[in-house]
Amino acid sequence: DSGVTQTPKHLITATGQRVTLRCSPRSGDLSVYWYQQSLDQGLQFLIQYYNGEERAKGNILERFSAQQFPDLHSELNLSSLELGDSALYFCASSVERGGFTEAFFGQGTRLTVV
């Protein structure tokens, strides 16, 4: 158990809909990272938050957004969903502000868009 909790584990939704994925980081970790794993793109970095503020952005679509709350949990919002958004979404947490030296991921949320 990595200590990073993601909910839900599975999500099935229709095209055009909006979903929210939730991540609770390990106790004491201030950084949260979101990754998308799709068959064609592999594991791709989406976005990072540190102590409530956006720290870095990767290949995140404009239809996607994230935030980190005062209690440090984070949510990834995916809107106007398309079939191609079907993927495994991972959250990871780290105590550092910069430099990914900690290495623990949640179990992922498998999103299926139909």
Partner 1 sequence: AQKVTQAQTEISVVEKEDVTLDCVYETRDTTYYLFWYKQPPSGELVFLIRRNSFDEQNEISGRYSWNFQKSTSSFNFTITASQVVDSAVYFCALSEAGDDKIIFGKGTRLHILP
Binding site for partner 1 (CB under 8 A): 2, 31, 33, 42-45, 48, 50, 55-56, 58, 88, 90, 92, 98-101, 103-108, 110
Least gap, CB of 48 to partner 1 (angstroms): 5
- Least distance between partner 1 and beta carbon 50 (Å): 8
Strands 74-78 and 64-68, bridge-based pairing = antiparallel
Instruction: Give the whole-angstrom CA distance, residue 73 versus residue 45.
Output: 18
Say if residues 32 and 72 touch (Cβ distance below 8 Å): yes
Q: What is the smallest separation between the CB atom of 107 and partner 1, expressed in angstroms?
A: 4
Count Cα neighbours of 86 within 13 Å in the Cβ-side half-sphere: 10
- Residue 42 or 70: the one with the smaller Cβ distance to partner 1 is 42
